[in-house]
Amino acid sequence: MDKERLKKIIDDPDYIPGIYNYCDGWCERCTMTSKCSNYALEKEYFPNDESKDINNQKFWDRISDMFRITLEMLEETAGERGIDLDSIDNTVIEERRLIKEEAGEKECVVMAKRYGKDVKLWFEASEDMLKQKEEILKSHLEMELPGTHPEKEAAEIKEVIDVILWYQHQIYVKLMRAVTGKLDGFQDEIEDMPKDQNGSAKVALLGIDRSIAAWGTMLQQFPEKENSILDILVLLERIRKKTETFFPDARSFKRPGFD
Ligand code: SF4
């Protein structure tokens, strides 16, 4: 792909500008793929499994191609705006570093980071139990036991685990972006503009909501793990409350294409 082709996709009016900024990145499940230039670009660059294989040279060639074009476009835009990329002020970089540091200490961010780790530990500690459950469901399927629905149950467990793992770290990443945006205060100077920080916080909140629902199903499926699952649910609920308090306008943020 060349720069012109990239620009053509980005400027295509069929795509909703910025839709990809406030989604959860789960393209496989997204209902807005036809409206997303990010999705179109990914399909253009990585049209098949072979092109996505990190062990394949073609994957790295495409990544380097994409990097080169992006750099060219950045230099072009900087030139148009009279920005000298070689003279970026070190104080700005230091300010950004300090803001990120401060953001990383906010309660909702700290708890979201802990949540990611707790989920990892939970799955590590539950490996045997999950295997046992798999065996039980398989035997129910073979025995065709009346009143059991092993296939349905297995699909439900897989679904909620997929959801939990998808949002496991994303909640932290989105909250970090939201809090950083709020602390730097840049957007506060622009009136009447939807604030990116609220959009990012909303994506985090949606991830929290879905994770809470998924853990609720895990609790029904694995009552023997009640204590540890309740601990996780309490943590998620606390992250949710702190986020809603820190970003009171997040829930009402209108995400382009989705809300
Ligand atoms: S909007 Fe949908 S298709 Fe586009 S990046 Fe987000 S999840 Fe993927």
Cβ atoms 112, 171 nearer than 8 A: yes
Q: Is residue 190 very low, low, confident or very high in pLDDT (cuts 50, 70, 90)?
A: low
pLDDT digits (tens, 9 = 90+) for 31-61: 999 999 999 998 888 888 888 888 888 888 8
pLDDT digits (tens, 9 = 90+) for 120-166: 999 999 999 999 999 999 998 888 877 888 999 999 999 999 999 99
DSSP secondary structure, 208-242, as one string: HHHHHHHHHHHHHH-GGGHHHHHHHHHHHHHHHHH
Mean pLDDT of 181-208: 85
CA of 157 to the centre of ligand 1 (A): 25
Minimum-distance ligand 1 atom for the alpha carbon of 26:
7
- CB neighbour burial string for 89-103, b if at least 16 within 10 angstroms, e if fewer: eeeeeeeeeebeeeb
Q: Is the CB of 21 inside a 6 Å radius of any atom of ligand 1?
A: no
Residue among 36, 41, 42, 44 whose CB has most ligand 1 atoms within 8 A, to mutate:
36
CA of 99 to the centre of ligand 1 (A): 28
Q: Is the CB of 73 inside a 6 Å radius of any atom of ligand 1?
A: no
Q: Is the CB of 99 inside a 6 Å radius of any atom of ligand 1?
A: no
Q: Is residue 192 very low, low, confident or very high in pLDDT (cuts 50, 70, 90)?
A: low
Q: Is the CB of 25 inside a 6 Å radius of any atom of ligand 1?
A: yes
Minimum-distance ligand 1 atom for the alpha carbon of 31:
2
Of residues 217, 222, 235, 255, the one with CA closest to residue 117: 235
Helix (H) or strand (E) holding 180: helix 170-184
Q: Is the CB of 23 inside a 6 Å radius of any atom of ligand 1?
A: yes
CA of 181 to the centre of ligand 1 (A): 22
Q: Is residue 256 very low, low, confident or very high in pLDDT (cuts 50, 70, 90)?
A: very high
From atom 1 of ligand 1, which residue's Cα is the shortest distance away? 20
Q: Is residue 76 very low, low, confident or very high in pLDDT (cuts 50, 70, 90)?
A: confident
Cβ atoms 148, 137 nearer than 8 A: no
- What local confidence, expressed as pLDDT, does residue 73 receive? 85
Cβ atoms 41, 6 nearer than 8 A: yes
Q: CA 72 to CA 7: how far, in whole Å? A: 12
CA of 210 to the centre of ligand 1 (A): 17
CA of 45 to the centre of ligand 1 (A): 15
In the block, tokens 């495409």 appear at 62
| Three-state SS letters, 19-39 | HHHHCCCCHHHCCCHHHCHHH
pLDDT digits (tens, 9 = 90+) for 216-255: 999 999 999 999 999 999 999 999 999 999 999 999 999 9
- What local confidence, expressed as pLDDT, does residue 85 receive? 79
Q: What percent of the chain has pLDDT over 70?
A: 97
